[in-house]
Structure 1
């Protein structure tokens, strides 16, 4: 089962677990995140994965391998993934192999770390501050799902003065009330 906890910001290396107290999956789901399990070994024939894809209206997908050997400009990309940001669309990732961390901000602006491992599918809602980092294994293979044309453009919190006024951010905040 997917595991989540509050992120310890005192730990220098964000690829470490940086674990404080555990967070229930109900808390993560209350933020609008959706968590699923699927059969990563049989992804092509996995009925539960096909159902999720259909129910979420995903019509585009690709596969990404995040590792030093496979991802060009690995350190630059990992640094980019670690930038706190939002998207106009949900971010959906199904872990086929390896593991990594998605960090999401809770309603009190605290980081909650979500460990994704082989067979986990996480959907992060549009408008929530989040980031991704590989764990100490530096290896994850994931399917990225999209509804419509794929959009990879992050809206970085540090670079956007009016991010809190953006309609997608306001829509997300309204779901927390």
Structure 2
């Protein structure tokens, strides 16, 4: 995974939007974002590694989601745009890419800048509950990803706004990164 500041220039959300300014692991950790690279292998060793992380983080369920033009048909562009709305979740978001490539953008609270995380097969990303983020494919237009859940699979996005800014999970997140 490569992380860098988003350039904020006009253009297709699936383009790199690379400012040329890389973001260090320390900056990611300071906003609660964790990541690992666990190669997807034919023997299935990656499944053991993912299971170990899931157990450590108390995750009990998972599913696999594929996003592509072929799979979504006429709804593809609408779905991609909906994933790109700035939002947060009340649970950690853990994604492991099995195939394809895409971008997770996370909001750096102190600067309000977007940090773009370009992920490929074998990349695992953990976003803390309450962090503002968004997702899009890159120009490859396809991804297959494993989503991990503490309980039953669910995905509820809370789009950014005054109400979400006051959400208890958002406030707890800000406290965890020591924002007053």
In the superposition, the TM-score normalised over structure 1's length comes to 0.93
Q: How does 1:141-160 map to 2 (within 5 A)?
A: 141-157=144-160, 160=161
| Displaced runs of 4 or more, over 3 A | 42-45
1:60 and 1:147 in contact (8 A); partners too: yes
The corresponding residue for 1:16 is 15
User: What is the CA deviation profile of residues 128-153 of structure 1, one whole-angstrom value per residue up to 9, with x for unaligned ones?
Assistant: 00000000110111001100122211
Query: Which stretches in structure 1 are left out of the alignment for 5+ residues?
Result: none
Q: Are residue 123 (structure 1) and residue 122 (structure 2) matched?
A: no
The corresponding residue for 1:134 is 137
Distance 1:174 1:156 in 2: 20
Report SS of the residue matched to 2:162.
coil
User: What is the CA deviation profile of residues 90-132 of structure 1, one whole-angstrom value per residue up to 9, with x for unaligned ones?
Assistant: 1110000110000000022110000111100001111000000
2:63 and 2:153 in contact (8 A); partners too: no
Distance 2:150 2:23 in 1: 29
Distance 2:72 2:31 in 1: 31
Of residues 92, 95, 101, the one that matches 1:93 is: 95
Distance 1:122 1:43 in 2: 22
In the superposition, the TM-score normalised over structure 2's length comes to 0.92
1:65 and 1:71 in contact (8 A); partners too: no
Of residues 58, 75, 78, the one that matches 1:76 is: 78
Residue 41 of structure 1 deviates from its aligned partner by 2.2
Give the aligned length. Answer: 174
Query: Which stretches in structure 2 are left out of the alignment for 5+ residues?
Result: none
Distance 1:43 1:13 in 2: 37
Report SS of the residue matched to 1:15.
coil
